[in-house]
Structure 1
């Protein structure tokens, strides 16, 4: 009687393949019934394992036992890809190497795309948990966090820490993109800064639309324009009035009445000039 190994090899497979697929009963029946190789192949196709297993997984399992060296080369390649995605997206935080290796094996057997790898890693690690613990994000997750903070500043819209974490996580996982985030902030800003709604609809950020005010404030207070915060009471008052944008002359007057202006060289020069005019008026100086 032919051995199980002989029957498996005649069918172009190995005993290991039948064992790992859980269809050793097919091999035993083939031995007992003295099946020809084509009958063995047909019975494999009729098995529950074959019917319930994806083509890519079947082919990879077959390759694993027919050409172990080629299978291992592919395995290492997919592992490298999983580790790359984990590193570059920042989704692998807190995931042990063993879990990443297991994820790579699943990716290989199921022929996963990068998006599918991302989604799987998202279920293993947690961008939100890392943010809660105050840990720095890296890769795409870090870029997403920086982008959300910048959009929040540029549109003058504050969001809760909880929603910030959700937004960053969804962007890192590929569920939301930059356009989605930008449209979210633009929509909120359109309602908050109604006098700038047309500018926002044209694709401008609130910071860009409010530049005449931030630049004037920066010049008068002798600060960098980037330091002129949209949530500064003076700026906020100028661009959120129900009656429209504040007149620039009125805005500059309000800035000069702010205590911060009193500490500037502009203010000191104005005071000295005013004092000189008074002395001249009373004939104290020429």
Structure 2
């Protein structure tokens, strides 16, 4: 049974909070959800700015039913128009309209499919007339199709709000157009007479002009670029990127003429890391850097790995450049083996004889030993005070001075052997 938007809208409120404006959800990794429609804390600022005209804090939002209604209606109407009822419910619950059939369990709530099915079941039981009457009786003022936000108005003129705010002449013209409810055609005519327009690149002028002369092609170009930017962001390793950021990338590509290298650089600055994890190409870079540092006997901070990964994933640097850096530092740390390290050998390979000796004498698994975590090996690899490598006999003697050695079987056998020899020397054993 088909449902109307008003039935759907009312069902979301009932599903999320039982229609309570004062509802506050439990703490999640994204923060708490607030209000009748349970808007997550990170979304409150940008969404109230977009749909209510003023940026509110979470507490201000919770105390303002009008803002809650305006935000939920504006965002859900946008989802409804793009994705239909099931996709809109899925997008509201999970952020992804395409997961409406997912039965995977969600932390603290039903599966996405379970949520979507519940919303539509509630919606189908709501009287359409009652839902419409309820919407009309609400204390906020919001038409069925929300009034354009300032950002949407700028986009209708083929511009981004950031661009509008970057130039005083353009900002004055835009404000005049919004106040006077100008049509896009009238705005473009006035725009062409500005000094700003004459000073812009042909790429930007073509982008804005196409918005008026061939809107279908303009939209198709944007949709294609959006898919390409989403793919590029994923490849670079930007996880959880917002649609707003992707549309910014689309604008940078189509209107400002950025090439893929510059876009890759731009996306690279937006890479985030969670619990030592990275994604996309960044994950491979992250792993390669850790393995390289380990092989060269070096340890770096988490922030060093994050910064290095961003630089490489964004195209500002390469793995080869970082290998040179790590190898140079390793040669300085293990000066006794500097020539071999510079020639291409790894510290872990050079440390193999010491690893074998520690394993044999202290009876430890070789797989648990390396030049970083084992103090004996690390000290031996740094060499003697005169800069020469540590002789093996000297290294093995130092191991037998370790209290741990006395607890080993070979230590006990050795001591038994010494005792037996002493007894033999006194003629007491044969």
Higher helix share: 1
Match of 1:245 in 2: 389
Alignment match of 1:208 (pick from 349, 353, 371): 349
Q: In structure 2, how many angstroms separate the alpha carbons of the residues matched to 1:56 and 1:210? A: 58
Name the CA distance, whole Å, in 2 between partners of 1:266 and 1:21.
93
How far apart are the structure 1 equivalents of 2:234 and 2:420?
66
Q: Alignment partner for residue 203 of structure 2, among 35, 56, 63? A: 56
| TM-score normalised by L of structure 2 | 0.48
Asked whether the 8 Å contact 1:92–1:121 carries over to 2, the reply is no
Cα deviation, residue 239, structure 1: 2.0
**Quick one: structure 1 residues 135 and 186, their matched pair in 2 at CA, closer, same or farther if it must change by over 3 Å?**
closer
Q: CA 1:247–1:141 in 2, change beyond 3 Å: closer, same or farther?
A: same
Q: Is the 8 A contact 1:157 1:185 kept in 2?
A: yes
* Alignment partner of 2:221 out of 74, 88, 95: 74
- Equivalent pair of 2:184/2:212 in contact (CA under 8 Å): no
User: SS in structure 2 opposite 1:110?
Assistant: coil
Structure 1 residues 201 and 219, CA gap change in structure 2 (3 angstroms)? same
1:24 pairs with 189, 200, 210, which one?
189
1:196 shift after superposition: 0.6
Q: 1:25 to 1:236 in 2, by over 3 A?
A: closer
Deviation at 1:104, TM superposition (A): 1.9
Structure with higher RCO (Cα < 8 A, 6+ apart): 1
Aligned residues: 247
**1:234 counterpart = 2:376:** yes
CA offset digits 1:174-228 (Å, max 9, x no partner): 2221122112222222222111111011022222222222233234444443422
Matches within 5 A, 1:116-135: 116-123=262-269, 125=270, 127=272, 130=273, 134=275
Indicate conservation of the 8 Å contact 2:236/2:268, yes or no.
no
Deviation of 1:80 after TM superposition, in Å, equals 1.6
The whole-number CA distance in structure 1 between the counterparts of 2:243 and 2:429 is 82
Out of 298, 321, 342, which is 1:180 matched to? 321
Counterpart-to-counterpart distance in 1, 2:307 and 2:249: 24
Gap change, CA 1:21 and 1:214, over 3 Å in 2: farther
**Cα deviation 1:48-101 (Å, max 9, x = unaligned):** 4553332333334444444444433332222122112222222345x4222222
Q: CA deviation at 1:276?
A: 6.9
1:41: which partner in 2?
none
Q: Which residue of the partner structure matches residue 104 of structure 1?
A: 250
Kindly report the root-mean-square deviation, in angstroms, between the aligned alpha carbons of the 2 structures: 3.5
Q: Give the TM-score of the pair, scaled to structure 1.
A: 0.69
Report the alpha carbon displacement of residue 113 of structure 1 after superposing the two structures with TM.
2.5
Counterparts in 2 of 1:98 and 1:21: CA distance versus 1, 3 Å: farther
- 1:263 Cα offset (Å): 4.4
**CA distance in structure 2 between the partners assigned to 1:23 and 1:70 by the alignment:** 18
TM-aligned CA distance change 1:262 to 1:100, over 3 Å: farther
The alpha carbon displacement at 1:143 in A equals 2.8
* Residue in structure 2 matched with residue 36 of structure 1 by the alignment: none
Say if 2:285 and 2:309, in contact at 8 Å, map to a contact too. yes
Deviation at 1:285, TM superposition (A): 8.5
- Distance 1:270-1:66 versus aligned 2 partners, 3 A rule: farther
- Counterparts of 2:246 and 2:185, CA distance in 1: 22
**Structure 2: distance between partners of 1:76 and 1:59:** 17
Please give the alpha-carbon distance, in whole angstroms, between the structure 1 residues aligned to 2:418 and 2:243: 73
Structure-2 residue corresponding to 1:29: none
Equivalent residue for 2:116? none
Match of 1:147 in 2: 288
Counterparts of 1:21 and 1:268, CA distance in 2: 96
Q: Does 1:259 align with 2:400?
A: no
Alignment of 1:157-168 (within 5 A): 157-168=298-309
Alignment partners' CA distance in 1, 2:190 and 2:298: 65
